[in-house]
Amino acid sequence: MNSTTELKDLQETLMPPRHTRIVDRDTLFVDFGSAVFGTLIFTPGPKTKLVVVHLGEKLDDAGRIDRDPGATIRYRRIEQAVEPTDGPCRLNIPADKRNTGPCAILMPEAIGEVMPFRYAEIEAGAAVDRDSIRQVFVHYPFDDSAAAFDCSSPVLNQIWELCKHTIKATTFCGVYVDGDRERIPYEGDAYINQLGHYCMDHEYDFARYSHEYMLQNPTWCTEWHMHSVMMAWIDALYSGETASLAAFYDELCVKTLIDFARPDGLISVDPKLRTPEIEARIEPHFRSGLIKRDIRDVLDWPPGSFTNGGTGERDNHEMLPINTVTNAFHCHTLGLMAKVAGMLGRNGDRKYFAGRARRVVARINDILFDNSRGAYIDGEGSTHSSLHSNMFMLAFDLVPAERKPSVIDFIKSRGMACSVYGAQHLLEALYSSGEDHYAFELMTATHDRSWWNMLRAGSTMTMEAWDVKYKNNLDWNHAWGAAPANIVGRYLLGVRPVEPGFVKTIIQPRPGPLQFATGRVPTPLGPVTVAFQNNPGSTFALEVTIPTGMTAKVGTPRRDSGADTLLVNGDAVESKPQEDYLFCDHVGPGRHVIS
């Protein structure tokens, strides 16, 4: 693979047990507290010649490792011959054909095979030296202290910790992969993984390497191709590095899928709509492998797929050749390519992509909006409006101001009618539109379509779906379900780069109903710390620490529509009202108290 980045080696961290106990007279049960990808080390009894070990992620009703956990929740029984000595034994995990196929990312030979497990049971374990037992946690180098968060919601605190552990634990392959079932990199999954990684560690190489791998080894999903442009832009915006943009600029242009466009600018990958002109444009991309020939819209998990005839996660979206979601992605990536071209000094391309983006958004708003219901329909010729058709338009800032109230009302009427993947864009749409109370309600819900449900099920990494009844082959180690990992840092604490490398940053907390929150968000210049006290209807006090080399635009919620004064460290400063916030520009490095 051609790459602008060389990764550090994977690490092994030895994790001691949380507790051990003897079960069934002579079987040693071990709980490590959290599932990780790795293997097991222990010292068997001095006369032992064969060890039998059970590893798993889930317990049964009796409190033992579940031997039949269902879905793709992991369990393995492993027999291994050992020399009868006092030395430690490293368990050799056999390869699994489900995740070591030709498209999978294989583990380095120096580390060997791994699996996700929290629990171990060692047969004839009474003679095992308990002090020798360690869970071998395989992961990419990770600074556990780079990010922190605490708030007045115990539920959100636990969800954030779940997501942080997920981001670290799912680096085990050296590339972002879709959990343990396939171990294949998927662009839509990796984008959410990337954002979470950035908010948990000051680390950009891993995401860049993964992105460049997927550029050259794409999957089949229409929207996934366009996620490559999104990953490239976020990489440059957060890290400040442009070498990857320059090296893969031509490929990124193709990934907007602009060559699938009909004369009015809207795109479709439906072969029945391809004119000879379109076929001539896209055939070279098929031959090169940059785009898969079987490219097709995915939107979200489809009806009847993995759910035993259920409704899937598309909110009954009507799939049509000219799809609103697909074209929202297309418009968004055209706008991003305009920014990429401008960053690289390609001013002609910048104007071209910006013009195409304006044309596409105008066309979407002209033919794909239903004025009678105040919401976007699912596609050209549709009579149905789904959550997805509206939340992606809002998340990508493609909704005209006068339409936002009705679109937001429609989105709020649908609840969490999307998958854990869709939840990333739903929460982003809500927070960026000032709907932090409702977004917080969704993020901290305790029903079965929630992150709390993942914890309640017993998983210690985010799951691939809300519940097994919504996706009956889900796994328990899928980072595309970790949206709160980035939503908390980017929106609830409100720390986002405005200019590449965080030279100019916005700090705009959206507290919702929280009484207080404190957090640390990593950047390449050093951590930004945020702490607020929130008394709805009364005061909002904010304390921020800004690292050297950064200038921030800091905003606080307005408690009184007539109050246009901010105090920074006790001194009144010029401020700018913007919607429900007061902003102070050009806040420099150091600690500042703002009210």
Contacts of 94 (CB under 8 A, 6+ apart): 76, 78, 113
Contacts of 442 (CB under 8 A, 6+ apart): 415, 416, 423, 426, 427, 430, 450
Contacts of 540 (CB under 8 A, 6+ apart): 511, 532, 533, 534, 556, 557, 559, 595
Instruction: Provide the b/e sequence for 338-358 (b: ≥16 CB within 10 Å).
Output: bbbbebeebeebbebbbebbe
Partner residues linked to 530 by β-bridges: 519, 544
Q: What is the mean pLDDT of residues 507-535?
A: 97
Instruction: For residue range 55-74, list pLDDT tens digits in order.
Output: 999 999 999 999 999 999 99
Q: Which of 15-24, 497-506, 563-572 has the lowest mean pLDDT?
A: 563-572
> Cα(178)–Cα(296) distance, rounded to whole angstroms?
19
State yes or no: pLDDT of 463 exceeds 60: yes
Instruction: For residue range 21-37, list pLDDT tens digits in order.
Output: 999 989 999 999 999 99
Residue from 147, 198, 151 nearest 529 by CA: 147
State yes or no: pLDDT of 471 exceeds 80: yes
Q: Do domains 11-139 and 500-594 have the same CATH topology?
A: no
DSSP 149-197: EEES-HHHHHHHHHHHHHHHHTTTTSS--S-TTT----HHHHHHHHHHH
Q: What is the mean pLDDT of residues 511-518?
A: 96
> Cα(565)–Cα(253) distance, rounded to whole angstroms?
45
Instruction: For residue range 139-172, list pLDDT tens digits in order.
Output: 999 999 999 999 999 999 999 999 999 999 999 9
State yes or no: pLDDT of 303 exceeds 90: no
> Cα(503)–Cα(496) distance, rounded to whole angstroms?
11
Whether residue 564 contacts residue 582, with contact meaning beta carbons closer than 8 Å, is answered with yes
> Cα(55)–Cα(66) distance, rounded to whole angstroms?
9
Determine the straight-line distance between the first and last CA of the chain, rounded to whole angstroms: 51
State yes or no: pLDDT of 564 exceeds 80: no
Domain definitions of the chain by residue range: 11-139, 218-401, 500-594
> Cα(462)–Cα(222) distance, rounded to whole angstroms?
25
Whether residue 89 contacts residue 42, with contact meaning beta carbons closer than 8 Å, is answered with yes
- Selected from 1.50.10.10, 3.40.190.10, 1.10.579.10, 3.40.50.720, the CATH number assigned to the domain covering 218-401 reads 1.50.10.10
Instruction: For residue range 196-238, list pLDDT tens digits in order.
Output: 999 999 999 999 999 999 999 999 999 999 999 999 999 999 9
Torsion of CA 512, 513, 516, 521, to 10 degrees: -30
- Provide the percentage of residues in the chain whose pLDDT is more than 90: 88
Quote the pLDDT of residue 55. 98
Partner residues linked to 6 by β-bridges: none
* Coil vs helix vs strand at 130: strand
The total of other beta-carbon atoms located within 10 Å of residue 405's CB is 12
Instruction: For residue range 233-288, list pLDDT tens digits in order.
Output: 999 999 999 999 999 999 999 999 999 999 999 999 999 999 999 999 999 999 99
pTM of full prediction above 0.85:
yes
- Provide the percentage of residues in the chain whose pLDDT is more than 70: 97
Please count the CA atoms within 13 angstroms of the CA of 503 that sit on its side-chain side: 7
Quote the pLDDT of residue 567. 84
Output the CA angle 517-434-538, nearest 5 degrees.
55
pLDDT band, very low/low/confident/very high, at 306 (cuts 50, 70, 90): very low
Instruction: For residue range 162-199, list pLDDT tens digits in order.
Output: 999 999 999 999 999 999 999 999 999 999 999 999 99
Token digits for 195?
């954002």
> Cα(463)–Cα(461) distance, rounded to whole angstroms?
6
Whether residue 116 contacts residue 477, with contact meaning beta carbons closer than 8 Å, is answered with yes
Quote the pLDDT of residue 535. 86
> Cα(11)–Cα(197) distance, rounded to whole angstroms?
17
Cα-based distances in Å from 335 to 214, 253, 380, 390, 506: 21, 11, 22, 19, 20
Quote the pLDDT of residue 308. 46
Cα-based distances in Å from 365 to 266, 355, 429, 435, 555: 12, 16, 17, 22, 31
Instruction: For residue range 80-131, list pLDDT tens digits in order.
Output: 999 877 789 999 999 999 999 999 999 999 999 999 999 999 999 999 999 9
Quote the pLDDT of residue 566. 84
Token digits for 592?
């500042």
Output the CA angle 191-195-199, nearest 5 degrees.
165
Residue type, 274: R
In words, the CATH class of domain 500-594 is mainly beta
Q: Which fold has domain 11-139?
A: Jelly Rolls (2.60.120)
> Cα(92)–Cα(177) distance, rounded to whole angstroms?
22
Q: Which of 43-47, 295-299, 401-405, 520-524 has the lowest mean pLDDT?
A: 43-47
pLDDT band, very low/low/confident/very high, at 563 (cuts 50, 70, 90): low
Instruction: For residue range 340-353, list pLDDT tens digits in order.
Output: 999 999 999 999 99
Quote the pLDDT of residue 576. 83
pLDDT band, very low/low/confident/very high, at 305 (cuts 50, 70, 90): very low
State yes or no: pLDDT of 522 exceeds 70: yes
Q: Give the distance from CA 588 to its chain's centroid.
A: 30
Residue type, 118: R
Contacts of 189 (CB under 8 A, 6+ apart): 176, 177, 178, 421, 478, 479, 480
Q: Which of 62-66, 275-279, 389-393, 566-570 has the lowest mean pLDDT?
A: 566-570
> Cα(29)–Cα(40) distance, rounded to whole angstroms?
13
Q: Which of 129-138, 554-563, 576-585 has the lowest mean pLDDT?
A: 554-563
